[in-house]
Structure 1
Amino acid sequence: MKRKKKRRSVRRSLRSRTARSKRRKNGKPKRLSRRKGRKRLRGKKTGRRKKKAVPPAAVSDEASISPEDAARLRSNNTRVRASLAEGSRIIDYLHFVFKLDNEDFLWELYRQFLQREPDAAGFHQFKGKLEAGALTRAAVAASIMQSGEAELVFTRKPSGDRNTSAFNLQGLFPAHNLDFIHGIYAQLLGREPEDANVANDVLAVHQGVSRQGLLARLLMSEEVQNLLRSVNPPAPKAKAALSARAAGNQNIGIFLCFGAQIAMDGEGIGRFFVRLTEGLLGLPNGFNLHIATTEANVKETEAIFASLKPLYPSRLHFYHSDSMATINRIVPADVWIVPYVGMGLAQYLYRPYIVCLHDLVYLHFPDLYSKDMDHFQYIHSLAEKITRNAAVVVFDSEYIRNHEGLTYLNLPVHQTEVVRFAAPHEEYTSFGIKTEAEFRVKYNLYGPYVTFPSVIRLHKNHERLIDAFHRFRLTDLGRASVLKLVFTDDLINRPRQQEITEALNVIADPAIRASIVFMGRIPSADLPSLYKYAEGVVVPTLFEGSCPFPIVESLLMDTPVAFGRLSIVQEVIPDMSSFATFDPYNPVEMAESIGKLYAQGKPVVPVQKEAASGLLHRSWANVALDYAAIISRI
């Protein structure tokens, strides 16, 4: 029995040595043997030890690249790199690279997607499979672009060689899904996706397909393969020249195709384009307005224009699609107005467009916005593309035109215009004013209050206003006033929540702490009443792209206002002597201004209104006339 057992053992040993020999021959690492004395039970699975990656120094001679070959391939690649222009599309790069021989193809493919030279093992592995016909070139490219290393390259800040596919993708990966999908179609197919394409890709994302997976799937599609096999890559689509579809360019598109679902009601940007639309519709030249939005924002868009639709049923039209190919095809706009420079889908408009650049606040406060700077770098890249291709870029103030437009974006002066906003006369007239009792009951807001009507943003300075209000309430006048401070936003899950909470926690007096109210966002229709019944409005913001809206809105409702001394305000209110102004970084000054605002009361309003008469007398019909003049020149 013992001899028989030994023969079986010898046979196993021979088989094992043979297998090890084959593995070594193929360049595979030696498999570690199980520890002696530990039996493996039949039928029961046990985990294997994790294999360690083979360091470059351990690669066998067969998987190395000789110095002579490496020098030759680097020399060839220098010529390849010189042939690829910065700013080209991925399909342009790949169309050239796919025409190279296998070695040069692999060398450049690594640079295109990983921004480095190939390692010896990967180079020989892919070269062997290409020569054996086991993998196509597209499959090799798809494999590399889906690797973990590629993910690290694609998701970092734009860096590395600028004439690589990876550099292009680094600019796309921070985008919303719709923007990303349109971006890869433009990069790989030279066209915008149709509705079915977008729907399939969005569904794939929801089912867990990664962005690299979407890229690989598109690369492997028959359409891309045909483009790679063609003599020339697809020509970039030319923007349509302006040829009026109606006399005088009567069809104006309002572009609201945000890449994600957003809340428009109550936001400054939402109120801006509703007011502008109303002003354009009110002009005697009879513009037709075409509102385009995405599927996620259909209800919100219809809601904010609900009051205008019955007034202009034949001149106000709505369209929605997640495909820019469809938007360009179905919306009969001669000229577009893009009210926000961060809408990435605007870069795919075929017709001429006017873009409104209100501000690029993150450039002015890099420390405040450092946590989300990757996002704002993406927004900045969009701003550069969209303003560069715009017929005209409109700013709300000279300050923003000079800083954002002429300095940061290097726009030519002739491409820029300043169109100041106006007081919301028409909007507030349509809203009407609630009775004081009705308003206070609705919001459980009793007693005297001052307010800062604004959503919480990093630069809005809520925490310093809380500090200043606390200081005021500790004075004799403040204790007697029993004033409340009312904010029109929620505190939870908002920017600066920690800093605002810390400012609140400093307040030891429970009565003062209870007097600071976060009432949440309120409908735009209730804003006039909020202003009307306030003792005053305090505007502590550190920065705005134009004179802050609450200053004009408050005076329109005959309520006095205090605000920070910003150069942008001085453009339109050169004489600030009748206002309670302050350094927005100084809570002590701010507290004194709150006291002055409360002590002066509403009798000071006529003097303040006179000082701001230039803005108060300007209507949104005037704003619309300025836009109409720009449209007529395009």
Structure 2
Amino acid sequence: MDRVRVIGPKGKPYALYVYEAWKSYLKRERGSSWLRRLSRGMDKVATRAQMRLERRGITVNSLSTLLMFCVEALPVGALLLMLAPLWIPMLLVNRWKPLLQRGFQRLAPRIAVKRARLKALLDEPQGIGLVQRLFADMEHSESQRMQKVIERLHEVTAWYCPTAFWPAFNEIKAPRLMCVPDVVLTDFPVGFSSVNGNYTLQVFEKVQESIHSAHNLVTYSDAVKWGTLVDRYGVDAEKISVIHHAANKLNRSVEITGFPDTEKTAKHHCQKLLFQALLRATNIDYTSGLVNGELQFIFYASQFRPNKNIITLLRAYEYLLRNRYISHKLILTGHPRSAPEIQDFISINRLENDVLCLPKLSIAELAACYKLAALAVNPSLSEGGCPFTFTEALSVDTPVVMARIPVTEEVLTDPQLQEISFFDPYDWQDCARRIEWGLAHPQELLARQRITYDQLSQRSWSDVVNEHIEVLDRISRVDRIKNLQ
């Protein structure tokens, strides 16, 4: 942190404070109500007093012990009289409770529908027109405040923006480098048109505005540089730098040392992490029964978006399950609620107990899923760089099959590797064949893929950072030369 300085406008809009407080309130741990806690406390007091009086009562055998018993009973009786105003309403509530429950049961469906709608709006407020307008105004106001801060930082020779969502970045009067990982909205306009309505369109318009007004761009693959930025948006190729990813490794999250059999211990640790994740699955009624014993499964880690090609994978899996009789589950990491077509496919084909959705995995849980999977798969139709699936899976010794798309062919260039690893993403039958072959020949597939993985692992994220800095230095030098001229 001694190399990092965080700078920004002081404070933030009060409306944002209110919204964050509301979100925090929704995420709070819901304890018992004060009335229920009071009732439990009174029950404990009454029970202890009753037990004490019972023990004293059975020892009464003379006038003196009877007097002592009455003396001890007086405070308890007085306490009960004092608490009577609280006991009486509770007794009445208990008496009328069946009637109240029947009335509530009649209203419950209507209340549940309204509550679900309200929760959906609060969980995804970007779908509300008013919220969109307020956020746009807030973003514009904050961008202006940030611009004033930036104008005072004369010592900065070049600026970098990690996303193309912020057109305001291009208002900076200094050398600028903007990252454009991809523009999948242009490739799948129909699919994304049903995601968050006008909000997605607004994001798309911002990305296009950012690209058209940018001076220098960086992306993760030649496929995006030439196929998207040059051919589709007419950006000068000399203004675009390509910096490939490094290997994304997960092995440190599941490695165990200090035991006689480290592999067995690591597997046991991963199983505990998987079972922990299964208890948060969307089909908890079924997955809660899977926490004992080993689970064979195919794994695809991705959010549910139109370009991820989930339906093709589901078609291939359903065929393998019902016609080729594989015994593996399919574990996905998206939430079906975010993609109704996926939820419908699972329901119509009765796959609720075979396709398990585990959203919001931690890094350790993600690594455990990769480690325990019989096969990792990635059917995506479009990615900005080579999907992390390859290096994430190989880092924990799990083989992979992937869609044949330009960015994967760009990085995984070995023809023999492509032959056994890739499938046609537009053909679910080819996807099914490749998955079935991978399940039948995991060691052969893993051995071939390890060669390429070892080569890719030579490139570190420090290399990626240094290449970004080289581009920033270059555009800074060019700017200084122009100013001297």
Unaligned runs of 5+ in 1: 1-192, 207-260, 263-295, 298-319
Residue 323 of structure 1 aligns to a residue whose secondary structure is: helix
Kept in 1: contact 2:254–2:368 (CA 8 A) = no
Residues 325 and 438 from structure 1, CA distance in 2 versus in 1: closer, same or farther, beyond 3 angstroms? same
Distance in 1 of aligned mates of 2:273 and 2:397: 17
Task: State the shift of 1:411 in Å.
Answer: 1.5
Q: Counterpart in 1 of 2:99?
A: none
Kept in 2: contact 1:582–1:589 (CA 8 A) = yes
Q: Counterpart in 2 of 1:365?
A: 188
Residues 330 and 524 from structure 1, CA distance in 2 versus in 1: closer, same or farther, beyond 3 angstroms? farther
Distance in 2 of aligned mates of 1:396 and 1:455: 20
Residues 487 and 204 from structure 1, CA distance in 2 versus in 1: closer, same or farther, beyond 3 angstroms? closer
Task: State the shift of 1:615 in Å.
Answer: 2.9
Distance in 1 of aligned mates of 2:438 and 2:227: 32
Identical aligned pairs, as a percentage?
21
Distance in 1 of aligned mates of 2:346 and 2:355: 9
Distance in 1 of aligned mates of 2:19 and 2:299: 43
1:491 aligns with 2:336: yes
Task: State the shift of 1:533 in Å.
Answer: 1.4
Distance in 1 of aligned mates of 2:336 and 2:178: 32
Residue 349 of structure 2 aligns to a residue whose secondary structure is: coil
Task: State the shift of 1:462 in Å.
Answer: 1.4
CA deviations 1:401-458 (Å, max 9, x no partner) are: 0122112222112211110111124x75478576223223322464111110011111
Residues 506 and 412 from structure 1, CA distance in 2 versus in 1: closer, same or farther, beyond 3 angstroms? same
CA deviations 1:378-420 (Å, max 9, x no partner) are: 3344334433454420111111001221122221122111101
Distance in 1 of aligned mates of 2:361 and 2:347: 26
Q: Choose which of 463, 470, 474 in structure 1 pairs with 2:311.
A: 463
Q: How does 1:240-251 map to 2 (within 5 A)?
A: none
1:199 aligns with 2:13: yes
Kept in 2: contact 1:537–1:561 (CA 8 A) = yes
Residue 605 of structure 1 aligns to a residue whose secondary structure is: helix
Residues 195 and 611 from structure 1, CA distance in 2 versus in 1: closer, same or farther, beyond 3 angstroms? closer
When the two chains are superposed, the root-mean-square deviation of aligned CA atoms in Å is 3.5
Q: Choose which of 324, 336, 339 in structure 1 pairs with 2:146.
A: 324
Task: State the shift of 1:340 in Å.
Answer: 1.1
Q: Counterpart in 2 of 1:411?
A: 235
Q: Counterpart in 2 of 1:251?
A: none
Q: Choose which of 341, 344, 359 in structure 2 pairs with 1:502.
A: 344
Q: How does 1:468-617 map to 2 (within 5 A)?
A: 468-478=316-326, 482-492=327-337, 494=338, 496-497=339-340, 499-508=341-350, 513-578=352-417, 579-617=420-458
Q: How many residues align?
A: 322
Kept in 2: contact 1:195–1:323 (CA 8 A) = no
Distance in 2 of aligned mates of 1:428 and 1:559: 11
Which letter does structure 2 place at the counterpart of 1:363? Answer: T
Kept in 1: contact 2:297–2:374 (CA 8 A) = yes
Report the TM-score when normalising by structure 1.
0.46
Which letter does structure 2 place at the counterpart of 1:328? Answer: I
Residues 529 and 549 from structure 1, CA distance in 2 versus in 1: closer, same or farther, beyond 3 angstroms? same
Kept in 2: contact 1:355–1:392 (CA 8 A) = yes
Kept in 1: contact 2:296–2:328 (CA 8 A) = yes
Greater RCO, CA 8 A, separation 6+ = 2
Which letter does structure 2 place at the counterpart of 1:437? Answer: Q
Residues 201 and 575 from structure 1, CA distance in 2 versus in 1: closer, same or farther, beyond 3 angstroms? same
Residues 436 and 523 from structure 1, CA distance in 2 versus in 1: closer, same or farther, beyond 3 angstroms? closer
Residues 334 and 428 from structure 1, CA distance in 2 versus in 1: closer, same or farther, beyond 3 angstroms? farther
Distance in 1 of aligned mates of 2:391 and 2:440: 21
Residue 344 of structure 2 aligns to a residue whose secondary structure is: helix
Q: How does 1:128-139 map to 2 (within 5 A)?
A: none
Kept in 1: contact 2:303–2:334 (CA 8 A) = yes
Residues 401 and 388 from structure 1, CA distance in 2 versus in 1: closer, same or farther, beyond 3 angstroms? same
Q: Choose which of 445, 456, 461 in structure 2 pairs with 1:620.
A: 461
CA deviations 1:46-91 (Å, max 9, x no partner) are: xxxxxxxxxxxxxxxxxxxxxxxxxxxxxxxxxxxxxxxxxxxxxx
Distance in 2 of aligned mates of 1:527 and 1:378: 32
Distance in 1 of aligned mates of 2:179 and 2:191: 24
Task: State the shift of 1:326 in Å.
Answer: 5.5
Which letter does structure 2 place at the counterpart of 1:527? Answer: L
Distance in 2 of aligned mates of 1:327 and 1:470: 56
Kept in 1: contact 2:165–2:207 (CA 8 A) = yes
1:400 aligns with 2:224: yes
Which letter does structure 2 place at the counterpart of 1:394? Answer: V
Distance in 1 of aligned mates of 2:330 and 2:412: 26
Which letter does structure 1 place at the counterpart of 2:425? Answer: P
Distance in 1 of aligned mates of 2:364 and 2:151: 35
Residues 327 and 595 from structure 1, CA distance in 2 versus in 1: closer, same or farther, beyond 3 angstroms? farther
